[in-house]
Amino acid sequence: MGNEVALVTGGASGMGRATVARFLGRGFSVVIADLNREVAERTLAELDAGDRVRFVHTDVSDEARFEAAIGETVETYGRLDVLVNAAGVGGAFGPLTEIEADDWDYTFDVVLRSVFLGTKHAGRVMRAQGTGGAIVNFGSVGAFAAGAGVQAYSVAKAGVQHLTRIAALEYAPDRIRVNAVAPGIITTPLIGLTAEDLKPVLGTVQPLPYAGEPDYVAGVVSFLASDDARFITGEIVTVDGGMIAAGPQLGNLVNNNPALRGLVGVNRGSTGEKSSVHRTVDVAGGTR
């Protein structure tokens, strides 16, 4: 531990950048592979980690360029232990009846094809090294339910999450672990919302009452890339403040029914046994 080498796609901004900072804190050498040169150069200056971090200008949907970025990583730092596929865009917006097929394809190229390309070429390098490795992909809560993200993006993220399991199976004999995080709403430039903007969903749609910050997800990525996660592969870790756990929140609907508010006890249905539901709790939760 300490002299490992990671390549982080989308490492110039948001959760990718927070992941780079985590890895640098653990003594890694890191390559940021990103399309946005200006933001990447600013990030490099702010991280101030000398020659332990460098930027390679890359479009991760382009196979030759992604393969070249992996090659440059090995040339510069001598090996590759960790690949984090964090690059992403919102992609095509609008009703399915209006989405241009080219915009749909662009979304899939950046969100899903890129993860396949990285998995393919990093897998080759890690396998040849013979010392195992870790790949961590970025899925999304949008992959789990239709109401959690825009269409093309959500379908592509579902692909990323399934590719994670497929790759975990294929790479297990080489001790290369492949996992994913599925973030909820995180305050990054991609969604452009602040903690203040998110107030209406905090403690409601998202049960935890504080906004998701990039470092909360980066901490999980860092764990999945570490030896502490040595027995975890093919796993999708949801990091969403409880949104998916809350699900459709039908409980809210029931609690909104005044007839059911404040009832406690047990309903034994049609068993013939006595139920004991009675009214002892007021709406605020105090006993009467």
Ligand X SMILES: NC(=O)c1ccc[n+]([C@@H]2O[C@H](COP(=O)([O-])OP(=O)(O)OC[C@H]3O[C@@H](n4cnc5c(N)ncnc54)[C@H](O)[C@@H]3O)[C@@H](O)[C@H]2O)c1
Name the maximum alpha-carbon separation found in the chain.
75
16 contributes a contact to ligand X by CB under 6 A: yes
Q: Which of residues 95-124 bind ligand X (CB under 6 A)?
A: 110
Which amino acid type is present at position 33? A
| Residue of 69, 73, 81, 88 that binds ligand X (CB under 6 A) | 88
Sign (positive or negative) of CA dihedral 166, 216, 11, 244: positive
CB 147 within 8 A of CB 200: no
191 contributes a contact to ligand X by CB under 6 A: yes
Which segment (56-64, 164-172, 229-237, 250-258) binds ligand X by CB under 6 A? 56-64
41 contributes a contact to ligand X by CB under 6 A: no
Of the pair 5, 156, the CB lying nearest ligand X is at 156
Which amino acid type is present at position 24? L
Number of residues that bind ligand X (CB under 6 A): 29
CB 262 within 8 A of CB 207: no
| Residue of 4, 14, 21, 135 that binds ligand X (CB under 6 A) | 14
CB 26 within 8 A of CB 2: yes
Tell me if residue 216 is catalytic: no
73 contributes a contact to ligand X by CB under 6 A: no
Catalytic residue among 77, 153, 171, 216: 153
Q: Measure the CA–CA gap between 99 and 114, rounded to whole angstroms.
A: 21
Q: What are phi and psi of 267, to 5 degrees?
A: -100, 115
Of the pair 58, 164, the CB lying nearest ligand X is at 58
Of the pair 60, 80, the CB lying nearest ligand X is at 60
Q: Measure the CA–CA gap between 138 and 19, rounded to whole angstroms.
A: 12
State how beta strands 263-264 and 133-138 pair.
Answer: unpaired
By the 10 Å C-beta count (0-12 exposed, 13-18 middle, 19+ buried), 235 is classed as middle
DSSP 257: S
Of the pair 139, 262, the CB lying nearest ligand X is at 139
89 contributes a contact to ligand X by CB under 6 A: yes
The answer for residues whose C-beta is within 8 angstroms of residue 110's C-beta and 6 or more apart is 60, 61, 87, 88, 89, 91
Of the pair 190, 281, the CB lying nearest ligand X is at 190
Which segment (84-92, 97-105, 197-205, 260-268) binds ligand X by CB under 6 A? 84-92
| Residue of 19, 29, 61, 206 that binds ligand X (CB under 6 A) | 61
CB 60 within 8 A of CB 117: yes
244 contributes a contact to ligand X by CB under 6 A: no
Nearest distance from residue 222's CB to ligand X, in Å?
15
| Residue of 56, 60, 224, 229 that binds ligand X (CB under 6 A) | 60
x/- mask, ligand X, residues 171-190, rule CB under 6 A, reads ------------x-xx-xxx
The residues assigned a catalytic role are 153
Residues that bind ligand X (CB under 6 A): 9-10, 12-16, 34-36, 39, 58-61, 86-89, 110, 138, 140, 183, 185-186, 188-191
